[in-house]
């Protein structure tokens, strides 16, 4: 992701002033003055990167997932420090349109006998399961559903909807060279309705992260894709 973002940024006329990785970690000692930072690393590194950026008042766009159990704490720290962070489980425009359609689908099917489930497929290097995108999708379904109040990861991949009738089942698969596929399925005894997003490559994620980076400069607060895309209007 870093390489793709760098390529797109240079093509748009931006300057890359610093690059960091596990061998050259981002911290206050090696920080280079910048307008914005983009964070796509690993969950175990992301927290320190986010905290450092907040303390430096450096706007940061965070694409890493797997750290969201600390989201509230980091949001509070950001507000206290009058800084800015932009977080998203997926920066793709297509995925965020997919989220909006999933909300509508769920509301339409509330009064019909359909069971919902989610399946996500990613590359073998993907550290967290289910993906942050799948979790966000599940949260949108739950918020618009009259049936589900939580989600569970089905590690057996059997999609047994009879065990947890009020729990939305998510299955996660890891296969070679898969940028990301997410399927929301509604099924009953008569038919199956599927809503699916399949990424052909990672360019859409990088382009969205770069757009968010341009947008957040000069702002303070905690933001996400709904602020950037403003679908409600």
Which residues participate in catalysis according to the annotation? Answer: 122, 126
- Only one residue has tokens 């989600």, namely 151
Q: Is 35 helix (H, G, I), strand (E, B) or coil?
A: coil
> SS3 for 78-120, per residue?
HHHCCCEEEECCCCCHHHHHHHHHHHHHHHHCCCCCCEEEEEE
Helices (H), 92-192: 93-108, 132-144
> What distance in Å separates the CA atoms of residue 155 and residue 107, rounded to the nearest whole number?
27
- What are the C-alpha distances in Å from 115 to residues 29, 63, 136, 175, 185? 52, 31, 18, 26, 8
Neighbour-count burial of 87, counting CB atoms closer than 10 A to its CB (0-12 exposed, 13-18 middle, 19+ buried): buried
């Amino acid at each position: 992701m870093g390489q793709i973002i760098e390529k797109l940024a240079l093509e748009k006329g931006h300057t890359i002033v610093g690059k960091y990785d596990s061998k050259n970690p981002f911290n206050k000692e090696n920080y280079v003055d910048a307008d914005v930072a983009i964070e796509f690393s690993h969950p175990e590194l992301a927290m320190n990167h986010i905290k450092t950026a907040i303390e430096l008042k450096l706007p940061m766009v965070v694409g890493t997932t797997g750290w969201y159990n600390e989201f509230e704490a980091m949001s509070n720290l950001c507000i206290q420090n009058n800084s800015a962070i932009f977080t998203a489980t997926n920066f793709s425009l297509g995925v965020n349109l997919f989220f909006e359609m999933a909300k509508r689908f769920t509301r339409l099917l509330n009064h019909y006998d359909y069971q919902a489930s989610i399946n996500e497929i990613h590359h073998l290097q993907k550290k967290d399961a289910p993906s942050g995108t799948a979790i966000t999708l599940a949260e949108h379904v739950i918020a618009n559903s009259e049936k589900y109040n939580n989600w569970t990861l089905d590690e057996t991949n059997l999609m047994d909807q009879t065990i947890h009738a009020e729990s939305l089942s998510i299955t996660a698969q890891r296969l070679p060279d898969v940028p990301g596929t997410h399927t929301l399925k509604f099924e009953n005894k008569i038919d199956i309705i599927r809503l699916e997003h399949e990424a052909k490559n990672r360019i859409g994620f990088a382009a969205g992260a770069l757009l968010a980076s341009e947008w957040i400069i000069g702002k303070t607060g905690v933001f996400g894709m709904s602020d950037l895309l403003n679908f409600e209007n």
